[in-house]
């Protein structure tokens, strides 16, 4: 047996989205987790201000999920879902359909948010082709959007640092403008009042390219990874209306917002705007086993599935691990916890306390905006001249050393604790962060 150590050799693992040399010179290692807390390798307790990476919505160390995965591993470890099936994948899809927005309840399993984005984009192209709109091959994203790291998601994504190193992007992609406007919306409580008109940027692209070239537009209803950008009031409704007017499919990326983050199962229910397709991952298994799912409207699903000849594979797409039994077992146990503990609507109960608490940071040094929704917050800092991102990174390190996990993007600090957070946890997170902000240089 290999010996496992809390002090592993760090060289072999090429770490993702990490400054490898910097990390390996001063590593931060997490060894175990329970409830709202991680334990670091030196035994310190670290409160999880970010639900891991926006995924551990029910908190850490949930025994029923562990047991369900263990049971499944010894019953049916793996079985294909290509021209075959296994019951638990159907059961899980059925349970997911029960909490889906009305009519968007056909579920395609993938293994990550990135795969979900690429899958949804391909579904949109397939749909347009089946309805005789095969010239619609253009995909529209939004500046500052994040849809993972596959070539599809990267191409429609709009975070420059994720794009510029990789040259080749998908052809026939364009972007509408982002909605971030500190001049008009800084320190807004609730949704920003200004910016609904930015949805009209899609009309500009229709004018430029022609609607008959555009298959779909993909946006995060609340943009998380770029630093918590809330949609302006009326913006998503307007985007939906423009899509309808021009026969463009609307895709929501709900990889972060799915599974209760805003206080409803999905953000589309929070905003009352229904997409044609939406992507999920992360909270679908409470982060325990990699999985994602694309939810398709009956219109898209039925059109594609009924559009091909009988006996032919209608959608030539899927992954070896689509609907993996262990992930389905984890997902079903996760949904049970969400239902038993009311977690898919729990954020709505604590959101006022959360909002008031995070807005108290507005008088801290360098803070130029505070925004929040559901159980998410973004705290934007002014950048140090010539060193964008440095200030927030130093706060991230200081916070970790003080026992708090936060996430940073540029000079924005994002918070998204597990949905089990009590007021005392909120207080602990914000007291620690306030102390770090006071020490910031």
Footprint on this chain of ligand PLP (rule: CB under 6 A): 112-114, 117, 146-148, 220, 224-225, 253, 255-256, 281
The DSSP result for 185-251, as a single string, is: HTT-SSS-SS-GGGGGHHHHHHHHH-GGGEEEEEE-SSB-TTT-BPPPTTHHHHHHHHHHHHT-EEE
Pick the closer one to ligand PLP by CB: 253 or 411.
253
If the CB atoms of residues 111 and 357 are measured against ligand PLP, the closer one turns out to be 111
Q: State in angstroms the smallest separation of the CB of 363 from ligand PLP.
A: 30
Given the structure tokens 């948010």, which residue do they identify?
A: 113
For ligand PLP, the closer CB: 117 or 373: 117
Q: Name which of 115 and 398 has its Cβ closer to ligand PLP.
A: 115
> What is the closest distance, in whole angstroms, from the C-beta atom of residue 176 to ligand PLP in the complex?
16
CA distances from 294 to 14, 54, 109, 219, 254 (A): 29, 18, 6, 14, 9
Q: How far is the CB of 256 from ligand PLP (least distance, A)?
A: 4
Q: How far is the CB of 257 from ligand PLP (least distance, A)?
A: 8
Q: C-beta of 416: minimal distance to ligand PLP in Å?
A: 10
**At its nearest, how many Å lie between ligand PLP and the CB of residue 130?**
26
Closest-approach residue to ligand PLP (CB): 113
User: Nearer Cβ to ligand PLP, position 16 or 207?
Assistant: 16
Nearer residue to ligand PLP within complex by CB, 236 or 437: 236
Distances (CA, A) of 269 to 143, 146, 252: 24, 21, 12
Could you give the CA distance from residue 153 to residue 116 in angstroms, rounded to a whole number?
9
**Cα–Cα distance measured from residue 187 to residue 367, given in angstroms and rounded to the nearest whole number:** 10
| Nearest approach, Cβ of residue 147 and ligand PLP (Å) | 5
Q: Please calculate the CA angle 58-381-52 and round it to the nearest 5 degrees.
A: 20
Ramachandran category for residue 259: left, alpha or beta (phi over 0 → left; psi -120 to 50 → alpha): left
d(CA 294, CA 311): 23
Would you say 68 or 376 has its CB closer to ligand PLP? Answer: 376
Rounded to a whole number of angstroms, the minimum distance from the CB of residue 281 to ligand PLP is 5
Indicate the residue among 307 and 389 with the shorter CB distance to ligand PLP. Answer: 389
Are 426 and 357 in contact by the 8 Å Cβ rule? The answer is yes
Residue 160, classed as helix, strand or coil, is: helix
């Amino acid at each position: 047996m290999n010996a496992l150590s809390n002090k592993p050799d760090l060289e072999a693992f090429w770490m993702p989205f990490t400054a490898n040399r910097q990390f390996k010179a001063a590593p931060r290692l997490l060894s175990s987790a329970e409830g709202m807390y991680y334990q670091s390798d030196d035994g310190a307790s670290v409160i999880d201000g970010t639900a891991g990476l926006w995924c551990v919505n029910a908190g850490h160390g949930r025994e029923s999920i562990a047991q369900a995965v263990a049971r499944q591993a010894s019953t049916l470890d793996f079985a294909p879902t290509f021209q075959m099936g296994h019951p638990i994948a159907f059961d899980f899809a059925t349970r997911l359909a029960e909490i889906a927005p009305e009519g968007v309840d056909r579920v395609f399993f993938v293994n990550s948010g990135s795969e979900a984005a690429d899958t949804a984009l391909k579904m949109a192209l397939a749909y347009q082709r089946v309805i005789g709109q095969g010239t619609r091959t253009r995909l529209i994203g939004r500046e500052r959007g994040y849809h993972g790291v596959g070539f599809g998601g990267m191409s429609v994504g709009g975070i420059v640092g994720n794009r510029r190193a990789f040259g080749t992007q998908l052809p026939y992609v364009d972007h509408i403008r982002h909605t971030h406007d500190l001049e008009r919306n800084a320190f807004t409580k609730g949704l920003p009042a200004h910016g609904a008109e930015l949805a009209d940027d899609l009309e500009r692209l229709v004018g430029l390219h022609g609607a008959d070239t555009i298959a779909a537009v993909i946006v995060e209803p609340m943009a998380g990874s770029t630093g918590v950008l809330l949609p302006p009031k009326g913006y998503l409704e307007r985007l939906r209306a423009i899509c309808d007017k021009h026969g463009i499919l609307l895709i929501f990326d709900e990889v972060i917002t799915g599974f209760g983050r805003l206080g409803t199962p999905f953000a589309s229910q929070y905003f009352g705007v229904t997409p044609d397709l939406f992507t999920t991952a992360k909270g679908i298994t409470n982060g325990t086993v990699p999985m994602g799912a694309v939810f398709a409207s009956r219109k898209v699903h039925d059109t594609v599935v009924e559009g091909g000849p009988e006996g032919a594979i209608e959608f030539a797409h899927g992954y070896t691990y689509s609907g993996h039994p262990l992930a389905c077992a984890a997902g079903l146990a996760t949904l049970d916890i969400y239902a038993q503990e009311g977690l898919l609507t729990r954020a709505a109960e604590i959101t006022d306390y959360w909002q008031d608490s995070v807005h108290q940071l507005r008088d801290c040094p360098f803070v130029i905006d505070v925004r929040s929704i559901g159980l998410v917050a973004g705290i934007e800092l002014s950048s140090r001249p010539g060193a964008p991102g440095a200030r927030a990174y130093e706060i991230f390190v200081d916070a970790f050393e003080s026992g708090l996990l936060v996430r940073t993007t540029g000079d924005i600090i994002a918070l998204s604790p597990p949905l089990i957070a009590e007021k005392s946890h909120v207080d602990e997170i914000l007291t620690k962060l306030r102390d770090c902000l006071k020490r910031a240089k």
